[in-house]
Amino acid sequence: MKNEQYILAIDEGTTSVRAILFNHQGQIVGQAQRLIHQSFPQPGWVEQDPIEIWNNTETVISEVLFQTETPPYKVRAIGISNQRETTVVWNRKTGKPIHNAIVWQSKQTSDLANQLKEAGYQELIQQKTGLLIDSYFSATKLQWLLDQVPQAREQAEAGDLLFGTIDTWLLWKLTNGHVHATDMTNASRTMLYNIHTLEWDEELLNLLHIPKQMLPAVEESSHFYGYTQEFTFMGVQIPITGIAGDQQASLFGELALEPGMTKNTYGTGAFIMMNLGTQPQTSAYGLLTTIAYSVNGEVNYAFEGSVFTAGAAVDWLKDQVKLVQDVTETAHQAQAAASNNQLYVVPAFNGLGAPYWNQAARGAIFGITQQTDDKQLVKATLESLAFQTRDVLETMSKETGLPVKSLMVDGGVSKNEYLMQFQSDILDTTITRAPLTETTALGVAYLAGLQVNYWPDLATIKAIIRSTSSYQPQMAASERKSRYAGWQRAVQATQFFAEENHD
């Protein structure tokens, strides 16, 4: 349409950054993507160059506008979604980072996290932040930077250094240093933000020796943050009105906006979130409590459970054991496999996540016979993703008392037809796959668009017709029970071996 305007979503992930234009129907008008390099200074350390992230962000913005012949004045607003927990510290005056960004996966602050656990701070931190102590979150990364970079602590205490997750860094750059802010979803992943008082927690800041003046202002996910600098969009200043961490943006993009509504993003790992509504709950079984989104003065919370190995297990079939030449073959291979319901693959390549939280566990295969072939191994590997998802969802249901009536799915592996049917079968529930795999970008586009009345309200967004794919359970109850019991035995045996091996 000649006069149509668009929402621009910046989706800054771990391995790439994309700029995507959406129209009023929530459809993609155009997109551009650039890879982001990772460096590994020591085993287990993962870092990225914040300047490269910014430069690539500028590039994809220009590319998508050029490719679609969209003049900047047709961009109504901008939303930013980002890899969560990744930590950047930069000089307020020069705008230069003092060190590489420390990426969420990086284990270089594990010792600091372990010291906090050993000192008995787990309960305090979980009660305040909803998180378990782990190097995954931003707090120990920030503490490490202040301790390890020469003169960083002195500069921070003098007010010369700023901290941010990647959304904050991009916002600061887009506004030419005028806005230092984040949203509640990202703040809730730092291990420094009190999700009940909705403030940076003074006790935790003192515990980790972090100067409060470094921290960004915290706003709602749908909020007017500021305008872009003039030279980014050829003199046009565009409002930035939506920010959310990637998994929360995905939940919003799936419109899982009622308590009990649940989504699973099947990526390298699998990230499962259940909407808790406006009242947070503290988990007794290793789930994280996080802020899901905040719109119009109302904060919604979620439980989150992470499966460490999902798409990575499918990649393993191709790259390491070479049972398939392309991951798209796995669905056909699984469907063609002879039945072997006693074969289980436990892909604990990097330990087991929720609800087991066993870092010592490693992968195992159970039930091999002389007749076991490549197709059966492919099938059992795919099924492991569905079993792990059920582990997390059963824990969520047990803690909340809310049954999982349906599961919304997205991410690359959600395209696997065999896995989606088996997921429905083993959960005994409906699986609904998003028509668009880019639900993270769509979610933050919705948040940005709501703020500028591009979409007047949530009802307007919900009314957009979507052609989703759905899967209904077909497995007999007795088989479902037997298959899941076998999985639980396999996981128990895997953990027993890890304990023996560890000793």
What residues are designated binding site for sn-glycerol 3-phosphate?
14, 84-85, 136, 246
Q: What does the block give as tokens for 106?
A: 């990086």
Residue partners of 255: CB distance under 8 A and separation at least 6: 461, 462
> What 3-state class would DSSP assign to 152?
helix
Q: What does the block give as tokens for 454?
A: 């591009």
What is the spatial distance between Cα 493 and Cα 499, in angstroms, rounded to a whole number?
Answer: 10
Where is 490: in which H helix or E strand? Answer: helix 477-502
Nearest Cα neighbor of 203 from 213, 214, 191 is: 191
CA atoms within 13 A on the CB side of 186: 33
Going by the annotation, the residues of the binding site are 14-16, 18, 84-85, 136, 246-247, 268, 311, 412, 416
What is the spatial distance between Cα 319 and Cα 274, in angstroms, rounded to a whole number?
Answer: 33
Going by the annotation, the residues of the binding site for ATP are 14-16, 268, 311, 412
CB 171 within 8 A of CB 240: yes
Nearest Cα neighbor of 411 from 403, 421, 420 is: 420
Going by the annotation, the residues of the binding site for glycerol are 84-85, 136, 246-247
CA 42 to chain centre: 24
Where is 205: in which H helix or E strand? Answer: helix 202-208
Q: For 237-248, give the secondary structure using H, E and C.
A: CCEEEEEEEHHH
Going by the annotation, the residues of the binding site for ADP are 14, 18, 268, 311, 412, 416
CA–CA distance from 426 to each of 97, 337, 346, 415, 472 (Å)? 48, 18, 16, 18, 11
> What 3-state class would DSSP assign to 175?
coil
Residue partners of 220: CB distance under 8 A and separation at least 6: 183, 184, 294, 295, 296, 297
